[in-house]
Structure 1
Amino acid sequence: MRTRPAVRGLQYLALLGYLVFLVFPLAWLVSTAFKTPQEIAEIHPHWIPRNPTLRNFSDAFDLQPILHAAGNSLVVAVSASVITVLLATPAAYAVARHRSAVSKGALGWVLLSQIFPFILIVIPLFLVLKQFDLINSLPGLVLVYVVWNMPFALWMLRSYVRAVPPALEEAAAVDGAGRVRTLISVVFPLLAPGVVATTLFAFINSWNEFFFALVLLKTPEKLTLPLVLIRFIGADGVASLGPLAAASVLATVPSLLFFAFIQRRLSSGMLSGAVKG
């Protein structure tokens, strides 16, 4: 059934409005990063800087250890996303294929865990990590992010596993393939799009997370990028808007590059899954 031109026009209009809604904050952030302090302080600011400058970027590096904090965030985000996917993939397969009271209880707990506000678990989490001497350490933060990302990753990958026809596994068993060989050669390649999407979700969540890092990290050399960005706001509440905007632009670059890199893998994985299916 064809969509009427009027309906299609409304769809494109809604899509355009959504794109503007997404692009506006980023465009304003980039514009502010290249403005002089005088332009930033104007009552009626302009979109395009009249006198573009890179001074804000140099000030950002001078005021705060941006590169060191970005390195910490990269280590934490990559480690957390990889470990989350490695644990969630076989768990999602078990939950999707072996339906029992245990799997139903696990799914119920996954949904229930998303209801609790994070602030309710901060004190118990702090005490547990303190017992294992993981306070103020990047491995402890990675562990927290893995647990934090796991419920949604498990739920997301479960949907991809259920989309794989069980007949493919049965055909592989008829051909003499064992359970492990079937999972490695048949099931997991078809889960590539889901694995890529889940990895992207876990990476961005870990890269941008602020609250747990604020509670668990103390010394300056362990701070992640979100904790360093907040330091551009002084004790009196006045922010260095130019350097803050420049540092924020630099903070978005790794996420955009990671998304651009992984999007190609997502497209190729979807095509590969379609052919193999």
Structure 2
Amino acid sequence: MNRVGRWALGILAVLISLAWSFPIYWMVSSAFLPNNQLQTPTPTFFPTHGTLSNFRRVLANPTFVASFRVSLTVTVLAVVGSILFAFVAALAVSRFRFRGRKGFILVILVVQMIPAEGLFIAQYQMLDSWRLVNSVLGLTIVYVAAILPFTIWMLRGFVAGVPIELEEAGMVDGLSRTGAFFRITFPLLAPGLVAAGVFGFLQAWNEYTLALVVMTDPAKRTLPLWLQGLVDSNHATDWGVVMAGATLIAVPVILFFLIVQNRMTSGLVAGAVKG
């Protein structure tokens, strides 16, 4: 490709990035504007006379604090549970040969094709019979079930990508099979576990429809449900508070990604062939 073609592709990539990031910028910018500026016909692209009052009102709202606590608890439990179960399942289908292995892999693919809405009635009835409706445990269970299929498939590829010969070499040097796995293979799977954790975190933190079905008690809403509750179809919506709330909801996702990004970008088998 010549120089002109590379420049054209670079400009196109910049334009696409700007178009993709503009809604995020508009959300953050609007969070600093008072309602009288948000409701004017002339848009304000730069909040030169911004205010923090919208953020203060959100943080002073006790329902926001309660919803944040529910979302954080459910998300952490869902991520830990899904990674634990998915890792064991991925290890089984990648390292062992057993009857029903191919059928299990096929079931994982089929489950991913089922629309989530088609399971709502069965999931609600199941949780209701267990008396887990409007509970953190009940929502965590359905979140883990929703995250597991893709997470298993993702981790299966990471586990299969680590040569089993590395473990066999460790066993030749005197390690047990378990010791070889945890001392040689497991550290090499860290990028895959982090990637699965990021996927699970995004899914659980931003999920709306399952929470809408399971958490029917207004006092036990997750953050997406809390944010939707600010939009009142019968009265004027305080869009400044809505934008400030949406911005605060996005902050934990950004912080989580910044913490784990180095692990995500590291090589899967970095150092496996050194020395």
TM range (shorter): over 0.9
Q: Using structure 1 for the length normalisation, give the TM-score.
A: 0.91
Show the 5 A alignment for 1:1-277: 4-62=2-60, 65-99=63-97, 102-236=100-234, 238-267=236-265, 270=266, 273-277=269-273
Which amino acid counterpart does residue 19 of structure 2 have in structure 1?
A: F
SS in 1 for 2:270: helix
Going from structure 1 to structure 2, the CA distance change for 1:105 and 1:11 (only over 3 Å counts) comes to farther
Please say which of residues 153-162 and 35-44 is displaced more in the overlay.
Answer: 35-44
Shift of 1:13: 2.5
Summarize the Cα distance change of 1:272–1:117 in structure 2 as closer, same or farther, 3 Å threshold: closer
More displaced 10-residue stretch of structure 1: 227-236 or 48-57: 48-57
1: CA distance between counterparts of 2:207 and 2:123? 16
Greater mean alpha carbon deviation, residues 100-109 or residues 56-65: 56-65
- Letter of the 1:213 partner, please give it: A
The amino acid that maps onto 2:113 is I
Distance in 1 between residues matched to 2:272 and 2:218, nearest whole Å: 50
How many residue pairs get aligned? The number is: 273
Deviation of 1:139 (Å)? 0.8
Residue identity in the other structure for 2:271 = V
Distance in 1, matches of 2:167 and 2:235, equals 60
Q: Which runs of 5+ in 2 are unaligned?
A: none
- Cα distance, 1:29 vs. partner? 0.2
Is this contact kept in 2: 1:36–1:51, CA < 8 A?
Answer: no
Rounded to whole Å, the distance in 2 between the matches of 1:231 and 1:63 is: 13
Rounded to whole Å, the distance in 2 between the matches of 1:57 and 1:240 is 12
What SS does structure 1 have at the residue aligned with 2:132?
A: coil
Letter aligned with residue 189 of structure 1: P
> Cα offset for 1:212?
0.7
Query: Within 1, Cα distance between the matches of 2:186 and 2:249?
Result: 33
What SS does the aligned partner of 2:247 have? helix
Q: SS state of the match for residue 275, structure 1?
A: coil
Report the secondary structure of 1:274's partner residue: coil
Residue 62 of structure 1: how far off its partner (Å): 4.9
Alignment-mate amino acid for residue 274 of structure 1: A
Range 43-52 or range 24-33, more displaced: 43-52
Could you tell me the TM-score, scaled by structure 2's length?
0.92
Instruction: Please say if residues 192 and 273 of structure 1, whose CA atoms lie closer than 8 Å, have aligned partners that are also in contact.
Output: no
SS in 2 for 1:259: helix
Q: Is the 8 A contact 2:192 2:268 kept in 1?
A: no
* Cα distance in 2 between the residues matched to 1:102 and 1:31: 54
Write the letter of the residue equivalent to 2:17: L
**C-alpha separation between the residues in 1 aligned to 2:253 and 2:73?**
13
Matches of 2:235 and 2:256 in 1, distance apart? 33
Q: Tell me whether 71-80 or 174-183 shows the greater mean CA deviation.
A: 174-183
Q: Which runs of 5+ in 1 are unaligned?
A: none
Change (3 A) 1:101 1:18: farther
For 1:118 and 1:20, the matched residues in 2 are separated by 32
* Percent identity over paired residues: 35
